[in-house]
Structure 1
Amino acid sequence: MARPHVVVLPMPYQGHVTPLMELSHRLAECGVDVTFVNTEHNHTLLIDALPSGGAGRSSLDGIRMVAVPDGLADGEDRKDISKLVDGLMRHVPGYLEDLIRSLEASEGTKISWLIADGGMAWALRVGKKLGLRCACFWPGSAAFLAVILGVDRFIQEGVLDEKGWPRRKETLQLAPGMPPVDTSQLPWNTAGAPEGQPVIFQLITGNNRAIADVAEVTLCNSFREAEPGAFKLYPDVLPFGPLFADAQFRKPVGQLFPEDARCIEWLDAQPERAVVYVAFGSFAIFDPRQFEELALGLELTGRPFLWVVRPDSTAGLSDAWLDEFRRRIAGRGMIVSWCSQQQVLAHRAVACFVSHCGWNSTMEGVRNGVPFLCWPYFTDQFMNQSYICDVWRNGLPMVPGPDGVVTKEEVRGKVMRVVGDDGIKERVRALKDASCRCLAEGGSSYENFKKFVDLLKE
């Protein structure tokens, strides 16, 4: 029997590329041929970020890497979500169809499945047109998926208007044990400038229809014990997380930025459970005042800290101020532009995680038993903060002052509280143990992944 061949299509953002790359590694280990489709822009970033230099690379550990245009011109702002989404929806279906036809013609074999990111679920219709079986991979929480899939119901009940805007301020509680959702923080209304919201909402409603019409199965990077209410609400969604590529951190997971490996050696020299790890993902941007307050707060803690600061993390900050800060914290704090986050969170020296609460970061922190300090930026991150602070109670929120700025005193105080709270430590250990049980042989995530692999091999 021929090996199954799947095409994997992530939404072109770091938080989507990584979990689908982790899934691809797992599938390849199980005898599945994988073709991973990035946009040309992200393909170049990923290859250039490989530690050994990726020029000419067409595969990663046996995963074939290919690319399609995203519909945007060189130099256009790909962090403008509505602009990128519009380009993807208008241009990528044709490119994807041509790619799949070309792959089949050149190899003389049939591609059997398309696994599309939930943010790219419209692509499932391309798979159906070409006779492929189709699966949707949801990279966020099941609770976030429940909110997305509930759009039609919210419109019918008068919570939303036809364009996705809330008709009234309300807190939605979809099921017991799920985090409440404030209508002022709906994911499609917190994903950029208001003028781009119609495109985001069009994407969501179109994706919902494609999932309902085409997807044979919807997969989720979560685990049952973390979200029992959401999985009871949507029992057909298969959780098999928290995903990771390999326990030794040797397999590349699609980083779009070069990693600074020096931070691991630096962590090796730190005391156990001493380091404050600070990272806000690939999107969050701070104004100079907030950046300075965070920096001074980390300094005030008196603890060693590892802080990921992308080159575009802030604009307008004085170079002289940052240089002086670096001199003051030299030897106690380390600032890097990017790192292997899973390797950092697994390190014995990390005491807590100051996080934007992206779902990958949330699952990585949970799996490694690290308490959180929550600082959400947009979309589903507010819901994830609610899971952490209100449902699981394995972290605390960073609370801004009346002027919207999280002060240095707030940073220092919350770090002191979260690392000294025995109740949080116990709950962190309990949730980590639950995630490990799910991933172990016979656990729910283990069995769901096995079920999916069997489906691919039918």
Structure 2
Amino acid sequence: MAKAHVLVVPMPCQGHVTPLMELSHRLVDHGLEVTFVNTEVDHAMVVAALRASGGEAALCGGIRLASIPDGLAGDEDRKDIVKLVDAYTRHMPGHLECLIAELEAAGRPRVKCLVGDVNMGWSFEVARKFGIRVVSFWPAATACFAFMLKIPELIEDGLIDDKAEGPGAPRRGVLRVALRVESTMEGVRNGVPFLCWPYFADQFLDRNYITDVWRTGLAVSPGAGGVVTREELRSKVERVAGDGEIRERARLFRDAARRGVGEGGASYENFRKFVDLLRE
């Protein structure tokens, strides 16, 4: 019997490609076949990184890398998120249709399900044209998604103002500690205390969980102009490294996380049910 074939479509940003690639590897571990669809630019970077690390051959075990254009010229700024989203929303649907047709024409197993980033909703419409089931994937924290759904209500209640300015970006030459949900969860699984320096989007929510809810780390405090000084960074590193209570809580969260993803754990069982649904 042919393996169930899943098409995975991430948003073309590192913080979205990485968790969906991780998901794809887990799907392959459970006996599914995956075609991972990047933009041409991201595809080239992924392949180059794999070749540099000697890991390209590992993808032959079940993940097929594919690419389609994002609608921008080669020299256009893809860090301009508004321009990027506008371009791929208009140009990628047609290319994805062609790719699905090409996969079928080449004799690949018919795609049973498309797992798409929630920010790539246009891909769901393409899937429905082919009678393919869809799964919407949110790569950030669940709490962040819940918060976003509540934004209109929070504005109406006067609790937040979307017009308020956010924190400025750090200046050049100043060390910045990145904080994404995938690195946060990796740290939790390994029992690592955190030093947080959020920069964008859900990273601020991740910081709040780490410092205020889990209490497994500290956050740096920017000074004038949003700059975090070396002295501030050194002080917080020393405090985190020397705090026995933080390290003990980090260990407790590590053990809880490992129980959850281990065989018989809640996360393990939920993922197994998800795989069974993809096979149907």
Q: 1:390 aligns with which of 185, 195, 212?
A: 212
Partner of 2:11: 11
Query: Secondary structure at the residue paired with 1:35?
Result: strand
Q: Give the whole-Å Cα distance in 1 for the aligned partners of 2:187 and 2:136.
A: 25
Q: Say whether the 8 Å CA contact 1:37–1:68 is kept in structure 2.
A: yes
* Structure 1 ranges of 4+ moved more than 4 A: 56-60, 183-186, 189-192
1-side partners of 2:232 and 2:110: how far apart? 57
Determine whether 1:355 maps to 2:177: yes
Counterpart CA distance in 2 for 1:429 and 1:17 is 29
The C-alpha deviation readout for 1:359-414, integer Å capped at 9, x for no partner, is 11111111111111111111111111111111111111100113321112211111
What CA distance in whole angstroms lies between the structure 2 residues aligned with 1:36 and 1:142? 23
Code of the residue aligned with 1:287 in structure 2: it is R
C-alpha contact (below 8 Å) 1:114/1:127 kept by paired residues: yes
- Count of matched residue pairs: 279
Cα offset, 1:356, TM superposition = 2.3
Corresponding residue number in structure 2 for 1:97: 97
Tell me which amino acid in the other structure corresponds to 1:388: I
Residue 113 of structure 2 aligns to which amino acid in structure 1? W
Shift of 1:457: 1.2
Q: What is the rounded CA distance, in whole Å, between the counterparts of 1:42 and 1:434 in structure 2?
A: 35
2:110 and 2:170 mapped to 1: Cα distance?
Answer: 48
| Residues 58, 66 of structure 1: 8 Å contact kept | no
Is 2:40 aligned against 1:40?
Answer: yes
Q: Which amino acid aligns with 1:447?
A: E
Residue aligned with 1:406, SS: coil
Deviation at 1:42, TM superposition (A): 0.7
Give matches, 1:359-374, under 5 Å.
Answer: 359-374=181-196
Shift of 1:49: 1.6
What's the counterpart of residue 238 of structure 2?
Answer: 416
Preserved contact between residue 167 and residue 226 of structure 2 (Cα < 8 Å): no
1:435 aligns with 2:254: no
Instruction: Provide the secondary structure at the position in 1 that maps to 2:225.
Output: coil
Q: Verify the 8 A CA contact 1:190 1:379 in the aligned structure 2.
A: no
Deviation at 1:121, TM superposition (A): 2.6
Whether the 8 Å CA contact 1:47–1:53 is kept in 2: the answer is no
- Native 8 Å contact 1:356 1:374 kept in 2: yes
Q: Which runs of 5+ in 2 are unaligned?
A: none
Which structure carries more helix by proportion?
A: 2
Deviations 1:94-149 (A, max 9, x none): 11111112211221642100000122133112112210011111111001111223
Q: Which residue of 2 aligns with 1:25?
A: 25
Displacement of 1:31 after TM fit? 1.4
CA distance in 2, matches of 1:80, 1:10: 17
Q: CA deviation at 1:184?
A: 5.8
What is the correspondence of 1:325-364 to structure 2 with a 5 Å cutoff?
355-364=177-186
Answer whether contact 1:355 1:376 (CA < 8 A) is retained: yes
Aligned CA RMSD, in angstroms, stands at 2.5
Q: CA deviation at 1:61?
A: 3.4
Query: Conserved in 2, the CA contact under 8 Å of 1:357 and 1:376?
Result: yes
Whether 1:287 and 2:171 are equivalent positions in the alignment is yes
Secondary structure of the residue that 1:50 maps to in structure 2?
helix
Identical aligned residues as a percent: 52
Matches within 5 A, 1:5-404: 5-52=5-52, 59-107=59-107, 109-154=109-154, 158-159=156-157, 168=158, 170=159, 183=161, 286-288=170-172, 291=174, 294=175, 355-404=177-226
The residue identity in structure 2 corresponding to 1:24 is: S
Cα pair 1:58 1:64 within 8 Å, conserved: no
